[in-house]
């Protein structure tokens, strides 16, 4: 008979570790290899356990040097689910960027923890429903990136101000922009006021319109120039 998904649970809190291990042991689909209270210094044993999924309560433990060294030898780290996490968008994005596949908040139910581990074991990802928007905003900002140098040179916008333009264009509030870029709401407000002054705009809509007009102008000029080259 095929064994279930091999799970290793290692949290800094003994009660949390034992509770998760107990829940998993009641499910035939999981095989708990180990459930221990440990720190980064114990990760050599964790890596050697050949688990399919790691359940941890520390991103630092997952990123520890011992993990990296053992992972390199083994051909890659197992999938990781972080549990009992703080409600912090910046920490969430850092975890995702470093390869974590599951992110469960500290107020999650037992069912949510099990579902997250199951999803990750099946090759999927798991995060709180409210964090989906955080991912969408992050990917959108990364894909749009910043306006081209030619578009922004006219106003001498800083790098941070350039990052704000696509987010403002999408109608995000100062608070939503602050969460996306891990800034304070007041800092975002100050940046936008400086942009309005540089771009001689009365409001946020004016900033977007000025950027769109400048970009359209450059695109049109570039198209005409290309056409002339083809005709020559």
Taking the domains of the chain in order of start, what are their residue ranges?
Answer: 5-127, 134-225
Tens of pLDDT, residue by residue over 40-66, are: 555 555 554 578 999 999 988 887 744
Query: Which of 80-84, 127-131, 133-137 is predicted least confidently?
Result: 133-137
Query: Residue with structure tokens 């060294």?
Result: 69
Phi-psi region of 200 (alpha: psi -120 to 50; beta: other; left: phi over 0): left
State the pLDDT confidence band at 16, using cuts at 50, 70 and 90.
Answer: very high
Per-residue pLDDT, 47? 53
State the pLDDT confidence band at 215, using cuts at 50, 70 and 90.
Answer: low
Per-residue pLDDT, 15? 94
Per-residue pLDDT, 4? 86
Has domain 134-225 been given CATH number 1.25.40.20? Answer: no
Per-residue pLDDT, 100? 93
Task: Round to whole Å and give the CA distance between 61 and 144.
Answer: 33
Higher pLDDT, 176 or 73: 176
Query: Which of 8-22, 130-144, 187-201 is predicted least confidently?
Result: 130-144
Has domain 5-127 been given CATH number 3.40.50.2300? Answer: yes
Tens of pLDDT, residue by residue over 71-107, are: 444 445 689 999 999 999 889 988 998 889 999 999 9
In the chain, the percentage of residues whose pLDDT exceeds 90 is: 38
What are the beta bridge partners of residue 81?
55, 102
Is residue 191 within 8 Å of 180, Cβ to Cβ?
no
Buried b / exposed e along 194-219 (16+ C-beta atoms within 10 A): ebbebbebeebeebbebbeebbeeee
Q: Is the pLDDT of residue 18 over 50?
A: yes
Higher pLDDT, 225 or 7: 7
Q: Considering the chain, what is the average pLDDT of its residues?
A: 79
């Amino acid at each position: 008979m095929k064994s279930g998904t091999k799970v290793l649970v290692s949290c800094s809190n003994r009660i949390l570790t034992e509770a998760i291990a107990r829940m998993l042991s009641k499910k035939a689909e999981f095989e708990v290899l180990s459930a221990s209270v440990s720190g980064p210094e114990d990760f050599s044993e964790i890596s050697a356990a050949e688990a399919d999924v790691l359940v941890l309560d520390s991103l630092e433990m997952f990123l520890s040097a011992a993990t990296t060294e053992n992972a390199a030898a083994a051909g890659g780290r197992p999938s990781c689910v972080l549990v009992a996490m703080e409600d912090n968008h910046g920490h969430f994005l850092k975890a995702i960027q470093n390869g974590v596949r599951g992110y469960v908040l500290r107020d999650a139910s037992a069912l949510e923890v099990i579902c997250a581990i199951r999803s990750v074991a099946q090759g999927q990802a798991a995060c709180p429903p409210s964090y989906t928007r955080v991912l969408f905003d992050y990917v959108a900002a990364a894909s749009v990136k910043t306006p081209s140098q030619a578009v922004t040179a006219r106003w001498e916008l800083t790098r941070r101000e350039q990052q704000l333009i696509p987010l403002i264009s999408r109608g995000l509030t100062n608070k939503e922009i602050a969460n996306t870029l891990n800034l304070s709401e007041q800092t975002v407000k100050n940046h936008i006021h400086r942009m309005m002054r540089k771009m001689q705009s009365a409001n946020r809509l004016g900033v977007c319109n000025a950027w769109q007009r400048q970009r359209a102008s450059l695109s049109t000029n570039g198209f005409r120039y290309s056409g002339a080259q083809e005709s020559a």
